[in-house]
């Protein structure tokens, strides 16, 4: 068993590296999602103010019906 300790330490080291990298990815993803949520909230407030709240701006560009 003494001959295999280098492999055991290597496996634990690799697992630690993978877990740290995944943790950093999750933190970055959480930050991106929270920033996107804030932008979406601010964007929805701006679109409501710009259209007067009666109808969305996307439907205002429809051609008139015959």
Per residue in 18-28, pLDDT (tens digit) is: 999 999 999 99
**Rounded Cα gap, residues 61 and 43, in angstroms:** 19
The most confident of the ranges 36-40, 43-47, 48-52 is 36-40
* Residue 36 binned pLDDT confidence (cut-offs 50, 70, 90): confident
* Residue 8 binned pLDDT confidence (cut-offs 50, 70, 90): very high
Q: What average pLDDT score do residues 4-16 get?
A: 96
Burial of 51 (0-12, 13-18, 19+ CB in 10 A): middle
């Amino acid at each position: 068993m003494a001959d295999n300790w280098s492999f055991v330490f290597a496996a634990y080291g690799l697992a630690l590296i993978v877990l740290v990298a995944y943790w950093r990815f999750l933190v970055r993803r959480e930050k991106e999602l929270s920033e996107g949520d804030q932008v979406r909230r601010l964007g929805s407030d701006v679109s409501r103010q710009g259209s007067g709240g009666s109808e969305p701006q996307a439907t205002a560009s429809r051609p008139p019906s015959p």
